[in-house]
Structure 1
Amino acid sequence: MSEIAALPFRPDAVIFDMDGLMIDSERVSIACWSEASAAMGIALPDGFFLQMVGLGDRDCERLLLQHIDEARIASLFSNCHDLYEARTQAGLPLRPGILELLDLLKTHGVPRAVATSTRQPRANRKLAASGLLPYFDAVVTSSDVQHPKPAPDIYLRAAQQLGKDPARCLALEDSPAGTRAAVAAGMTAIQVPDLVHPDDSLRALGHRIVDSLHDVRALLVPWLAAAP
């Protein structure tokens, strides 16, 4: 890990994104979007689906409307959903370091929540299939809020469910949209980029950017080790 500023406090809670951060699902999702669009004869610009990483359904629809009509979007969503469900029934691979990080937080009694753009009941199914659901005290999804990421609503709702001040929460994200949501919620954000790397406008937010969840764990250890 390159030199990253130490955390300013021991977090009262840690709030996790799901796809791309804990579960290695974004590659599967993009593959399903590509396969479904190809099967329908829909041609989209190279790298188009990367723009959708971390966004809720409505924002994905707005992007697609720039290229195809509403009726085809509905069919594309349905076809992609079927492909994705078939590929995720048995669970998806976990991102490196997630279990070690969750075990550390559990050992030290730090409350944990999920804040994901995935809707229910899919979010709980994915967490359960991946063995992660028992680690969390709350799961907040885009089904629970009016405005999905990059709005702060999901993170604020997660903090509320844990009974914690957002300013005392640590938020972990991989995507630009999710990182913006966490920062807008007033949380200390750490980004662990997966498929989409931060550009200059995102870096201007001043949040911490690390290479892996192992690096996040290393930032937390000094605070947790010093705790009574």
Structure 2
Amino acid sequence: MTPTLRTLSNWSPEAVVFDCDGTLMDTERHWQDARNRAFREFGLLPPPGFAERAKGVHYVDCGRLMAEETNKPELAVELTAALLGHFLALVSEDPLTMPGASEFVRALSGRLPLAVASNCPLEVVEESLGRAGLRRHFGHVVVPTVPPEEPDAPPRDGERPQVVRPKPWPDVYATAARLCGVLPGAALAVEDSLTGVESAWRAGLRVLGVGPLPDGDDTGHANAWVTALDGPEVQEWMRGWPAGASSGTVPDHQRGDSL
């Protein structure tokens, strides 16, 4: 049974952390197009159902999955590079926000600390949000600092870096909540993929799923699921949130490895 917004109606967050692709930005179709272009570039056919399996997956993992599922594991590095290159070109040409996302962010800006937690490279998130006019509303952007195949990367030059692993590890959401100055349980994550939902849940955030329901209506650990952020029930719930301590609109960014 799909969890409805009623499960969160008596609770209000002290900070909100958004996923980017498919939640704020309508970039999933760009990723799909980029995957198809990368497949064609190497003369490969996308395996059936690959788009759903790739949703929310870190692009390095996606490139490796593309190689494995076409029985071309030796092309993992080349497919990953092609995937990212095609995506950057597409998102630069056509940055679109998801229904209600822009209005939702602007309505909260200045009321609560806002952050973005994404599996995408920092330049992709910055480019997407910047071109859509949303970047200034977020105090922090958190992205992985190590590729998915190196979650236990050793310190460099004798220093111990802040390791932020990609979703479904909890790191990006846990880091974002900390940067917003709230406990994880006081923050709301807004996500469109089961990979992201798992990441936020593991970090201890409450989770609002948004968009089409995943295959089989399995919403994972989402506390509630809505079709879009501009629905009347979402707007009514959001208007009742008390204004908390906010960092306001901050033009600079924070990466996990700068903490």
| TM-score, length basis structure 1 | 0.87
**What's the CA shift string for 1:127-186, capped at 9, x where partnerless?**
112211001010001237442111111100101111110000010000110011111111
CA, structure 1 residues 146+61, in 2 after alignment: closer, same or farther (shift >3 Å)? farther
1:204 CA drift (Å)? 5.2
Counterpart position of 2:86: 83
Counterpart position of 2:135: 133
CA, structure 1 residues 58+33, in 2 after alignment: closer, same or farther (shift >3 Å)? closer
2: CA distance, partners of 1:118 / 1:191: 19
- SS of equivalent residue, structure 1 residue 179: helix
Residue type of the alignment partner of 1:71: E
Q: Is the 8 A contact 2:208 2:222 kept in 1?
A: no
Counterpart position of 1:50: 52
- SS of equivalent residue, structure 2 residue 207: strand
CA, structure 1 residues 198+16, in 2 after alignment: closer, same or farther (shift >3 Å)? farther
CA, structure 1 residues 90+24, in 2 after alignment: closer, same or farther (shift >3 Å)? same
Counterpart position of 1:213: 229
Q: Is the 8 A contact 1:120 1:143 kept in 2?
A: no
Are 1:153 and 2:160 an aligned pair? no
Q: Is the 8 A contact 1:119 1:143 kept in 2?
A: no
1:121 CA drift (Å)? 2.2
Q: Is the 8 A contact 2:64 2:77 kept in 1?
A: no
2: CA distance, partners of 1:206 / 1:34: 30
Counterpart position of 1:171: 189
CA RMSD of aligned residues (A): 2.2
2: CA distance, partners of 1:206 / 1:96: 20
2: CA distance, partners of 1:90 / 1:63: 26
- Equivalent residue in structure 2 for 1:197, among 214, 221, 230: 214
Counterpart position of 2:240: 222
CA, structure 1 residues 127+138, in 2 after alignment: closer, same or farther (shift >3 Å)? same
1: CA distance, partners of 2:143 / 2:58: 10
Are 1:11 and 2:13 an aligned pair? yes
CA, structure 1 residues 30+151, in 2 after alignment: closer, same or farther (shift >3 Å)? same
Q: Is the 8 A contact 1:16 1:115 kept in 2?
A: yes
Is there any run of 5+ residues in structure 1 with no aligned partner, and where?
none
2: CA distance, partners of 1:3 / 1:120: 32
2: CA distance, partners of 1:187 / 1:36: 35
2: CA distance, partners of 1:3 / 1:71: 45
CA, structure 1 residues 60+97, in 2 after alignment: closer, same or farther (shift >3 Å)? same
1:35 CA drift (Å)? 1.8
1:51 CA drift (Å)? 1.0
Residue type of the alignment partner of 1:212: A
2: CA distance, partners of 1:32 / 1:62: 15
